[in-house]
Structure 1
Amino acid sequence: MTAVAQRRSLPGFGLTMGLTITWLSLMILIPLAGLFVKTAELSFAEFWSTVTAPRTLHALKISFGLAFAAACVNLVAGLVIVWALVRYRFPGRRIFDAIVDIPFALPTAVAGIALTTLFAQKGWLGAPLAALGIKVAFTPLGIFLAMIFIGIPFVVRTVQPVLLDLDTELEEAAECLGASRWQTIWRVILPSLTPALLTGFALAFARAVGEYGSVIFIAGNLPNVSEIAPLLIVIRLSEFRYADATAIAVVMLIFSFLIIFVLNRIQHWAQSRSLATA
């Protein structure tokens, strides 16, 4: 048994694991630990006062609330886009497939300027919306649209390879057994895609929560109106209130970790259930 296990082990496991732990420590764990060390300079009363200030709570609500809403929209829209790109053949499909990656390659500042220009009150889309009484730029709605823009590729690129590998014979078998199209989608396709969908949702949410460059241009950055938490951290740093900035960052880190942890557990459960029913 031991000899078999040794033969199955990858060569150089000790070296690669050591390098992995060292790299993760230098790039992730130590910088994050620095946040907690700097925040420890505040007393508990000062920390609580900082993170429960009305301006801080509103900024956190804007960042997490809109990021979650944008990730939900991207979950549905991403699934529709993936389905069209994978299951249908139409002129320009490869071009549309490449367009999905534009938010990946586009600098965030450029994306923010483009969205602001488009949705400003005199912009191509902002003007007709303003005529209807809908203001997008410099409002939470603008932040919401920017978060959707930067998050959609994460869902598409996570689900696309899974749908490509999904055997269409399962769908044909379900139809032969009398299942309707919607029953096939709900009972055959979606259970197989659920782990990938949850992964894409988590990635889109995480990116939206921490997004800065593409959001600040269209947000307007008005305190208690359209100010995001990352911007508030930058403001505290510019005021040389470093401990206050790290306190807000610690709260964002903890909440983000808890949400992603819960999503990962749900993903693991969905994957285990999918394998058990396969």
Structure 2
Amino acid sequence: MKRFKSIKSHSILPGFGLSLGFTMMYLGLLVLLPLSMVFIHTTSMGWDSFWQTVTDPRVVASYRLSFGAAFVAACINAIFGLLVAWVLVRYNFKGKRIIDGLVDLPFALPTAVAGISLTALYASTGWVGQYLDILGIRVAFTPLGVIVALTFIGLPFVVRMVQPVLQSIDKELEEASASLGANRLHTFTKVIIPIVLPALLTGFALAFARALGEYGSVVFISGNIPMSTEITPLLIMTKLEQFDYTGATALAAVMLVVSFVMLLIINILQWWTQRRQLS
């Protein structure tokens, strides 16, 4: 009888084996197989050729810009995404639904349109760029412009991850904290932030990953200046246009490995924060 119950307890969801099989097949065909082909195609070039390709000074400069700008943009989105989600959840005001809908605009807007719009806005003759230029601040065709573009496309990830968590927080927790003598800052940092932190880290990871692969919005505002504003996806596209497929897959392999390691670290931090909350 106990054996029968244990078997039944593992069969709560009908069709688990079949659905798991379709899931693995789907992920294998659309995710694992295409990614593995990158590494398989890269092995066709010798180690010396591979190392020379991925350590070229121009390529290294693109690594530095791609990962650095993506990290900075994700940090900015983590801060302001939390602020936007807080305002949308905790306050009622006219135009709230419009602002809530505008958050998803980068999802629907084609990246090329976003790049052209940002370039026109922040160029030296643009509505905003002409005033920044007086202050000696250049955005378009600089690394700062890359950060602006990546921040634009990554904001919705943080807001949409944090917003449901804030909505689920019971206000009685804040009232209890206040009744125990905690001020607003202490309540926010000691009560709200620990609950929101796993979702915030997830939003950060998604914004970071999205920024690493961004191409359309960046190529317009960056200016694609070698050793200065070139991103790695642009160099990959350049090698593909030159029919250098092995060189393109070599750069893609490096991006995949580094991205996987960084996302793994972020997921470990997220798991650690969730475990700390439960303990």
Q: Please say whether Structure 1 and Structure 2 have the same fold, judged by a TM-score greater than 0.5.
A: yes
Name the CA distance, whole Å, in 2 between partners of 1:2 and 1:193.
41
Instruction: Indicate whether 1:112 and 2:115 are aligned.
Output: yes
Q: 2:188 and 2:8 mapped to 1: Cα distance?
A: 42
TM-score norm. by structure 2 comes to 0.97
Q: Are 1:239 and 2:245 counterparts?
A: no
Cα distance, 1:110 vs structure 2: 0.7
Q: 2:45 aligns with which of 36, 42, 45?
A: 42
How high is the sequence identity, in percent, across the aligned residues? 55
- Asked whether 1:124 is paired with 2:124, we answer no
TM-score, scaled relative to structure 1: 0.97
Distance 2:119 2:240 in 1: 26
Residue 273 (structure 1) shift? 1.1
Root mean square deviation, CA, Å? 0.9
The residue that corresponds to 2:8 in the other structure is 7
Residue 32 of structure 1 deviates from its aligned partner by 0.5
Cα distance change, pair 86–5 in 1 and its aligned pair in 2 (3 A):
farther
| Aligned position for 1:167 | 170
**What is aligned with 1:269?**
272
| Residue from 262, 273, 276 that aligns with 1:259 | 262
- The aligned residue for residue 102 of structure 1 is 105
1:43-122 residue pairs with structure 2 within 5 A?
A: 43-122=46-125
In the alignment, the residues of structure 1 paired with residue 229 and residue 192 of structure 2 have an alpha-carbon distance, to the nearest angstrom, of 39
Q: Cα–Cα, structure 1 residues 234 and 275, in superposed 2: closer, same or farther, change >3 Å?
A: same
1:204-223 matches, within 5 Å, as 204-223=207-226
Distance 1:241 1:224 in 2: 20
SS of residue in 1 equivalent to 2:114:
helix
Aligned partners of 1:11, 1:213: CA distance in 2, in Å? Answer: 44
Query: Which amino acid in structure 2 is aligned with residue 7 of structure 1?
Result: K
Per-residue CA deviation, residues 89-131 of structure 1 (Å, 9 max, x unaligned), is 1111111111100001111111111101111111100111112
Residues 1:185 and 2:200 aligned together: no
- Distance in 2 between the 1:275 and 1:97 partners? 32
- How far apart, in 1, do the equivalents of 2:71 and 2:111 lie? 20
Partner AA of 2:120 in structure 1: T
1:5: how far off?
A: 4.1
The DSSP-based 3-state class of the residue aligned with 1:265 is helix
Report deviation, 1:2.
4.2
2:139 corresponding residue in structure 1: 136
Give 5+ residue unaligned stretches, structure 2: none
* Moved segments of 4+, more than 2 Å: 1-9
User: Which segments of 5 or more consecutive residues in structure 1 lack a partner in the other structure?
Assistant: none
One-letter amino acid of the structure 1 residue matched with residue 16 of structure 2: F
Distance 2:278 2:4 in 1: 29
